[in-house]
Chain A
Amino acid sequence: MLRFIIKRLLITIPTILVVITITWGLIRLAPGNFYTGNKKLPPAIEQNIREKYGLDKPWYEQYRRTMWGILRHFDFGTSLSYPGQSVNAIIARSIPISATVGLLAYLLALIVGIAIGASAAMKPNSRWDYAAMGFAMLGISIPNFVLGPILVLVFSLTLYWLPPSRWEGFPSRNIILPVITLAAIYTAYIARLTRAGLLEVLRSDYIRTARAKGLSERQVLFRHALRGGLMPVVSYTGPALAFLLTGTVVVERIFILPGLGNYFLQASLNRDEPLIIGIVAFIAIVLLLMNLLVDIAYGYLDPRIRY
């Protein structure tokens, strides 16, 4: 087990470096520069900026400088569009916000999703099952950029119950709508995966054995069925958690949350190379770690899987 984890962590390092290199190349291919604005800069001013950021140097020199900073100090440099702000500081301050919203959405999705999915699986093809799965389908079909504004329209603009946007820290009432918007699609997926997983497990021999022993349905469900039935949910929620933690562009933009997703979008539009590379590298690391956690979790949930 330990060997497996160490091996996986070692594979992570070259993966990240490849991701950074590809990102670096793609930014270079995109037309325009961080200083390209609505008004064109006079050549002399453009030259001053290019010299300051070493953009007048050959590409291998620029690549070496970028990689050296990252490898040596894990320092992604200074943002180009927000002069004087370091990329590491921007990531460090936006991550807690994305992670708070993401984690809350994740917990909400897990609890509600598994509850709905499990109850639907217990009575397959009943009215409740259809209703629950109908709702789940709705959750999957409605994108969050539609759901968010609808929730705002109803709960903020019409009923005046909740603030429509802005980040006021945690806990605050501002957090409710973004969390629900973000959680909706994950809740729906988890509900469907739970139901499907449970239905398969409930038909297996060891559940029949448990029932034959005279255990109550509750005991069958919680002690035996859920463990195996949640396998698909686990493999889904690992990467899902990674995405939730690192911010989602749409929800952060609709609700003006100063999280990583918002910065990521703005950095791409601004061609802010150090910031883009920093955020991409960070997301890649979290994603790889979450995948690792998922594989470890398999080992606990399914005794047949051994590393």
Chain B
Amino acid sequence: MLTFGPRRLRSKVNQVNINPLRKHIIIALLIAACALVSISCNLASGNEEFFGKTTPPEGNILRYVNGPEPESFDPAISSGQAEARIYMALFEGLVEYDPKSLDAIPAIAERWDTNNDSSEFVFHLRHNARWSNGDPINAHDFIYSLRRALSPEVQSRTANLAYYIKNAQAFNSKSVFVRDPQSGKFLLEQDLAEEPPTTPVSLSQKVLGANESEYTLAEGNSVTPDTPFHQYMHSPARLVLPGSEKARQKMLDANPKLKAAVAGNELVKVTGEDVGIEAVDDYTVRISLAQPAPYFTGLAAYQLFRLVPRKVIEQYGDKWTDPANIVTCGPFKMKSWKPYSEVVVERDPMYWDAANVKLDEIRFYVSTDHPTTMNLYKVGAADAVVNHSVPHAWVDVIRPKKDFMDAAEAAITYLLINVTLPPMNDLRVRRAFNMAIDKETYSRSKRTTKPLSAFTPTGIFVGYPQPQGDRFNPAEARRLLGEAGYPVTQKPDGTYICEKFPADEVKLMFATHSSNKALCEFMQAQWKQNLGITVMLNNLEAKTYMASRGKLEYKGFALGIWGADYMDPATFLNLFLTPSGDNGSGWWDKKYADLLEEANHTADKQNRYELLAKAEKYMLDAQPVIPLETPSVNWVKKPYVKGLYPNPSSLFAWKFVYIERDPSKWDYRTPSLAE
């Protein structure tokens, strides 16, 4: 009885036949439809200066297509760029991203001091910062926010970006210290170290000496007072063991010396109070890192470090981000939220710099479909759109327009190589595959991207002596393959063939996306043309792809894309600092890791850059990756939207954005990031 309906339906449908005359009508109609489409395409492209309407919105508002639906309004939780942009409107940290360079600019902190090896920072907070409910903001709000963000219960996805801070990782991963119950002393890392450390101890970890000056302060600034907590931070690192019984037992069983040392001692949980952040007074925050990190102030603008309201969180728990409950500290506050449609924020009169916030309202629209996004923009229903919105096939039409944002992105596209499996475990084979790709031609055909032969994006880090890997050289590539035992021979028709190469053992895996597919097909064609090797493509759904790559379950190549977490070459180079995590290639070399460590202990910026470049060159020579391109930000904004710059991470300090109604002051080209 359940299937009664469908069965009846099927029998009826089968009775309908198409006769020849009807076929003609259908064909005629299809032709008519095609004609209609082509006419409207012509109308749509036109020869206008800008893409679509350029009538500014009636109110003093910005309508920004922001990409996917935000996962959460809690800045400690999400890692996404779309969320980050909303957090930048609603919440402020000690510092904010500069709208052009993304360097740290004052926010809740009005100035800061850095010690001589960038391992300790003192932030001086402004006295007039307030929450959107009028409550004042002080140093304790920051301490609460970061301890909360790091606490395991909040399960932040980005907590690892604060691991530079002393004991932060131990606290976030529920680790324990070991204490002698009699003396009350903690076991130290140095007591049990197998060998003396290769890198010098950072200033923040050294015992405070009377004569050693840590800070080179600007004139008029006074030294921040010493405190017992400061002394604790400056004492040698305590031994940290895993919090879970099982993991700890495993570690101790593997190391008898450690087991003997730990036996009979009590385990003490690492708490938020152990994390290297301290409110020296109500308006001074001191942050002690476990290692030098010259880029830390830039990182401090990251969403994880933004301030959240303690009272509201303690009152409402998980529900604190409901628009009815939420209290914020940024230039804008929540006005309304329509799930999967829009987030509307309005100017917050309580904000310390409210007089300089120019927009009354920002509407963040949800849209994940690129053509849909561009349609909204064209009809004038959106004023600016998220990066990468211009579809590949539209670039030709959009690129000549004056509202196209043509600028490099702090990201790289590259192929990972699984170096643990033959034949790719042979360096000569890896180099050959790299040299057989004509990246210049690829970037020219794609028009917006730049060819890349290094592992850091081109044209992003000013003054960085970016090294270069092997260039396109098909002849040398064939020679190297021959040397590795896979001779490439030329057939009479001029094409190449490499019969001995085990092509079944190599695939190119990528996550489903139309632009990824085009890219991988190009690589496939290049290898076929220049080496005579056909590499099969393996197209996987995004999460399946990530799972497979993480476990090194692929053969040959995997397409990787990496975006900067902070504006420093280290955010790319650190991928290969450990064998796990986002490494994804199976390549790891202690010398490389040591070079990075050394660079991070170097205070002088240029010297540090040179050491980083040396490390990068070392990695490129080992070729665990094939760099392909530096992507472009690839978005559009109306000429009347000012103060919005195509910066390399597409993160915008919204308070500087405004609507210009005088066409003579509009942007008639991509705004420069340099001026």
A residues with CB within 8 A of B: 8, 11, 30-33, 35-45, 47-49, 51-52, 81-85, 90, 93-94, 130-131, 133-135, 137-138, 141-142, 149-150, 152-154, 156-158, 160, 163-167, 192-193, 196-197, 231-232, 235-236, 238-239, 253-256, 258, 262-263, 266, 269, 271, 291, 294-295, 298
**In the bound complex, what is the Cα–Cα distance between A294 and B376 (angstroms)?**
40
| A-B pair number, CB within 8 angstroms | 204
The contact of B547 among A31, A154, A256, by CB within 8 Å, is: A31
Query: Do B172 and A45 touch (CB < 8 A)?
Result: yes
A45 B160 Cβ-Cβ under 8 A: yes
Chain-A contact segment, one of B33-41, B499-507, B640-648:
B33-41
In the complex, residue of chain A having the shortest beta-carbon distance to the beta carbon of B317: A84
Residues on B with beta carbons closer than 8 Å to the beta carbon of A135: 29
CA of A62 to CA of B302 in the docked complex: distance in angstroms?
35
Which residues 567-602 of B sit at the A interface, judged by CB distance below 8 A? 580-582, 584
Q: List 7 A-B contacts (CB under 8 A).
A: A32-B544, A38-B546, A150-B33, A163-B381, A166-B365, A256-B366, A258-B341
* B residues adjacent to A (C-beta < 8 A): 1-2, 4-6, 8-9, 12-13, 15-16, 18, 21-22, 25-26, 29-30, 33, 36-37, 40-41, 43-44, 52-53, 68-69, 71-72, 74, 77, 79, 152-153, 155-157, 159-160, 163, 169, 172-174, 244, 318-319, 321-322, 338-342, 365-369, 371-372, 375-376, 378-379, 381, 541-544, 546-548, 550, 561-563, 580-582, 584
Tell whether, in the assembled complex, residue A138 and residue B341 are in contact, meaning their CB atoms are under 8 Å apart.
Answer: no
A164 and B40 CA atoms in complex are apart in Å by 15
Q: Is the CB of B543 within 8 A of A271?
A: yes
Pairwise interchain contact A232-B9, C-beta atoms closer than 8 A? yes
Question: Which A residues touch B71, using CB under 8 A?
Answer: 81-83
**Chain A facing B: main interface SS:** helix
Give Cα distance in the complex from A93 to B581, angstroms. 38
Q: Which residue of B159, B340, B365, B546 contacts A263 across the interface (Cβ within 8 Å)?
A: B340
* Complex CA–CA separation, A133 to B580 (angstroms): 62
> Which of chain B's residues have a CB closer than 8 A to the CB of A152?
375
- Chain B residues near A38 (CB-CB < 8 A): 546, 561, 563
**Given A45-B160, A83-B74, A164-B381, are A269 and B21 also a contact pair (CB < 8 Å)?**
no
Of B25, B153, B155, which one neighbours A131 at CB under 8 angstroms?
B25
A44 vs B554: C-alpha distance when bound (angstroms): 25
- In the complex, are the beta carbons of B581 and A36 less than 8 A apart? no
Closest to A291 in B: B5
In the complex, the answer to whether B379 meets A163 with C-beta atoms within 8 Å is: yes
Is B546 touching A258 in the complex (CB atoms < 8 A)?
no
In the complex the two chains form, what is the Cα distance from A193 to B12 in whole Å?
Answer: 7
Is there an interface contact between A238 and B29, defined as CB atoms closer than 8 Å? no
Which B residue's beta carbon lies closest to that of A50? B155
Please determine whether A32 and B341 come into contact, CB atoms closer than 8 angstroms: no
Residue of B nearest to A262 (CB): B340
Q: Is the CB of A84 within 8 A of B40?
A: no
Are A83 and B341 in contact, with the CB atoms below 8 A?
no
Q: Which residue in B22, B79, B341 is a CB contact (below 8 Å) of A167?
A: B341
* A185, B162: Cα distance in complex, Å: 54
Enumerate chain A residues within 8 angstroms of B1, measured Cβ to Cβ. Answer: 8, 295
* Interfacial chain A residues near B340, Cβ < 8 Å: 94, 256, 258, 262-263
- Residues of B contacting A158 in the complex (Cβ-Cβ under 8 angstroms): 40, 43-44
Do B153 and A52 touch (CB < 8 A)? Answer: yes
CB-defined contacts of A30 to chain B, threshold 8 Å: 543-544
Residue of B nearest to A40 (CB): B582
Contact B22 A130 (CB under 8 A): yes
Query: 20 extra interchain contacts, Cβ-Cβ under 8 A, other than A45-B155, A256-B372?
Result: A37-B546, A39-B562, A40-B582, A41-B160, A47-B244, A48-B155, A84-B318, A130-B22, A150-B37, A153-B44, A156-B379, A157-B378, A164-B379, A193-B9, A232-B9, A253-B368, A256-B367, A262-B340, A291-B2, A295-B5
A166 touches B369 (CB 8 A): no
> Is B8 touching A231 in the complex (CB atoms < 8 A)?
yes
Q: Is the CB of B379 within 8 A of A160?
A: yes
Report Cα–Cα, A235/B155, bound state, in Å: 50
A255 with B372: in contact, given A134-B25, A164-B379, A196-B16 (CB under 8 Å)? yes
Q: List, in ascending order, chain B residues with CB within 8 A of A157's CB.
A: 40, 44, 52, 375, 378-379
Nearest neighbor of B29 in chain A, beta-carbon distance: A138
Pick from A33, A44, A163, A254: contact of B169, CB under 8 Å: A44
B12 touches A196 (CB 8 A): yes
Given known A-B contacts A36-B547, A48-B172, A256-B366, A156 and B155 have beta carbons under 8 A apart:
no
Q: Which residues of A contact B33 (CB under 8 A)?
A: 138, 142, 150
Query: B9 to chain A: which residues have CB within 8 Å?
Result: 193, 232, 235-236
